[in-house]
Chains A and B, each alone.
Chain A
Amino acid sequence: GDSVTQMEGPVTLSEEAFLTINCTYTATGYPSLFWYVQYPGEGLQLLLKATKADDKGSNKGFEATYRKETTSFHLEKGSVQVSDSAVYFCALSDQGGSYIPTFGRGTSLIVHP
């Protein structure tokens, strides 16, 4: 079945540091890939997505590239801010399988001033 594996957190960075959160996946079909962000006390919000190989999703300075050859969708940001502190979830939705998305376990990011 489908699965998503994220690096374990928490990831702790200083403001303006470079961020990478790794995400790899296993899917039976041709998935769409997503990153969601969850701020304390809130639901998840879509951060970015990519629907086919080599697509790059980007939003608010975050980027992720759909790499089919390595089955990865790593999240990056060049310079993090304190306000980026949140939990980040990688997810896939497999066109060839169920329309129920598969989520990773989430990675907590803590950014210090």
Chain B
Amino acid sequence: GAGVSQSPSNKVTEKGKDVELRCDPISGHTALYWYRQRLGQGLEFLIYFQGNSAPDKSGLPSDRFSAERTGESVSTLTIQRTQQEDSAVYLCASSSDGTSNQPQHFGDGTRLSIL
């Protein structure tokens, strides 16, 4: 069956440009997460959506980062005025209902490179 799909798989852009990353979760999954993974590092939580509740934005590193989700489907992560330190792999994950015993299903990520 279809898994979590992320696009683009790779993005190279110049410093100062805005970028938009897309995530299509598994159909029916109400919980959606965004993470950042710098080279050789662990996962850094960015934002969490659960159904129609207000998102948990506690992990967003600055006001240049924002994310939206349309109902229980597609999500976009937007980074404005990109900086070189934004270079990383951005991973999206979904889970069926966000409860503690449900695993996360990850996409393959978007590799973002800021020149």
Report which A residues bind B (CB closer than 8 A).
31-32, 34, 36, 41-46, 49, 51, 89, 93-95, 98-101, 103-106
- Contact call B42/A106, Cβ cutoff below 8 A: yes
Asked if A103 contacts B42 (CB within 8 A), the reply is yes
Decide: B105 and A46 in contact? CB cutoff 8 A.
Answer: yes
Question: CB-CB < 8 A to B76: which residues of A?
Answer: none
Partner pick for B104 among A42, A44, A104, A106, CB 8 A cutoff: A44
Among A31, A34, A94, A100, which residue has its beta carbon within 8 angstroms of that of B103? Answer: A34
Question: With A and B bound together, what is the CA distance between A45 and B106 in angstroms?
Answer: 7
Query: Can you name 4 extra interface pairs (CB under 8 A) apart from A43-B93, A51-B101, A106-B41?
Result: A32-B101, A44-B106, A98-B56, A99-B100
A100 to B91, Cβ gap below 8 A? Answer: no
Q: Is B62 an interface residue (CB 8 A)?
A: no
| Residues of A with C-beta under 8 A to B93 | 43-44
- Give the distance to chain B from A62, nearest Cβ to Cβ, in Å: 15
Docked complex Cα distance between A28 and B103 (Å): 19
| B40 CB, nearest partner CB in chain A, Å | 8
Asked if B42 and A100 make an inter-chain contact with CB atoms under 8 angstroms apart, the answer reads: no
Closest-by-CB residue of B relative to A45 is: B106
Q: Are A94 and B100 interface neighbours, CB within 8 A?
A: yes
**A56 to nearest B CB, angstroms?**
15
Interface residues of B in 87-106 (CB under 8 A from A): 91, 93, 98-106
A-chain residues with CB within 8 Å of residue B103 when the two chains form the complex = 34, 46, 49
CA distance A42 to B105 in the complex (A): 12
CA A45 to CA B3, docked complex, whole Å: 11
CB-based contact B41/A43 at 8 Å: no
**Residue of B4, B56, B101 ringed by the most chain A CB atoms within 10 A:** B101
Instruction: Please tell me if the beta carbons of A32 and B33 are within 8 angstroms of each other in the complex.
Output: no
Q: A95 touching B108 by the CB < 8 A rule?
A: no
Give Cα A100 to B99, complex, Å: 9
Complexed CA–CA distance, A100 and B102 (Å): 11
Residue of A32, A51, A93, A95 ringed by the most chain B CB atoms within 10 A? A93
State in angstroms the CA–CA spacing of A46 and B42 once bound together.
Answer: 15
* A89/B43 contact (C-beta < 8 A), A99-B31, A99-B48 known: yes
